[in-house]
Amino acid sequence: MPVRVVPILKGLRWEPNAPEAEFAVSDSGLACLVLRAHPDDADQNKVALYWTGVSSAAFGDPNDEGLGSHPLYGHGLEGLLWAGEVDKSDGTRRHFLVPTKEGLAEVWAHAIDAIRIDHRHTASDVLRSVPRLDAPAARPEPEKVQAEAFTDQSNYAVIRLPQRRFPGVVFQGDSLSTFVSDAQELASVSRGANAEVAELSADLRDRLGAILDHYEQALAKHGVPLPYVRDATPNIRPIDQMGIARAAAHDETHQLMQLAAGPPSHWVVTLVDGAQVDVWADAVTGSSGPDDARDYAFGVLMDIDPNLQDQFDVTARTPSNPGRVEVCVARFPRSSVLDVSSG
């Protein structure tokens, strides 16, 4: 099973090392993890992650609020208590891991979302309001407009929408997905090239990725299935071919990451002890400095085998810019999910 690093929600930023992480589980299949965005500001608003369709959950050491009334041992993280029945592997739930300073939150659930909350609110407050936030609503009907067609029907149609002066180009989502994959590959190949070329390639990837995100969100809003399989053809590119220095383990103060748009890549990370780790992950950037660490977003590890053992952190830097961490992944599990071999 591959390891995926996925964003929670773009635009929400916090530090996993900030104190006062709080976890709660309700009897109605909801779970919430509240994190303070910054460790030094007591009045700073918090970020709340909440899961729906929760079948089981655990957080760090035994946590009274998160345990609910269903303490079960021996499932997932060794020695941790669970707050629900173990998932029956029906294919409808995903496995989420969120590392925090207080411990590791582990949840089997249908979906995850994130909101900002006032610093006075708790995880229990969020759980009381989430049912209203997640109340089922009728899907909106797509707005029907009459557009002028300048070409025959194809994957690249030229049309003019009402109240638009000039025609535009409309192309199918599967074609757009292919463009994003190509742009991601170009950005990966360009990392070891001229700095200007690398910057332009990354900008092209991000712009196309933003359009694809908008496309996917619109289809999800109206209940329309995607015409392609997301991340079906990940890029395979060893880390040593991308101009990235040998990775270091456990030598950074902050372990944050920001996820970039595009399909996951196959990273072959060489640790300082010579071991190699194969990781499937989206291209990420991060920070190891205390001054700018809060400027980066965090993500969750998804689709992890529940039989976790010990964990380790992996980071890597570019030799041309030592201040930038090209790969910064928090707490990959050392388990059968990863291919860890001596180099």
Six-digit token pair at 169?
């180009």
- Measured CA to CA, the distance from residue 165 to residue 185 in angstroms comes to 35
Decide: 337 and 3 in contact? Cβ < 8 Å: yes
Residue 22 has pLDDT above 70, yes or no: yes
Predicted pLDDT at 221? 75
How confident is the model over 109-150, as pLDDT tens digits?
777 777 777 777 888 888 777 655 545 555 677 788 888 888
How confident is the model over 304-326, as pLDDT tens digits?
333 333 333 343 333 344 443 33
Higher pLDDT among residues 333 and 105, named by residue: 105
Predicted pLDDT at 271? 39
Q: Quick check: helix, strand or coil at residue 214? A: helix
Number of H helices, E strands in the chain: 4, 20
Predicted pLDDT at 274? 43
- Measured CA to CA, the distance from residue 185 to residue 207 in angstroms comes to 14
Residue with tokens 């291919």: 339
Length of the chain: 343
Q: What are phi and psi of 30, to 5 degrees?
A: -120, 145
* 210 CB neighbour count, 10 Å cutoff: 13
Higher pLDDT among residues 330 and 179, named by residue: 179
Residue with tokens 């029956």: 88
How confident is the model over 170-206, as pLDDT tens digits?
878 777 877 887 887 787 777 667 778 888 888 888 8
Predicted pLDDT at 103? 67
Residue 212 has pLDDT above 60, yes or no: yes
* 116 CB neighbour count, 10 Å cutoff: 12
Supply the mean pLDDT for the chain: 57
The DSSP-derived string for 173-206 is HHHHHHHHHHHHHHHHHGGGS-HHHHHHHHHHHH
b/e code 233-246 from CB counts within 10 Å (16+ = b): ebbebebeebebee
Six-digit token pair at 55?
């079948």
Instruction: Tell me the pLDDT band of 219, cut-offs 50, 70 and 90.
Output: confident
Residue 230 has pLDDT above 70, yes or no: no
- Measured CA to CA, the distance from residue 121 to residue 104 in angstroms comes to 21
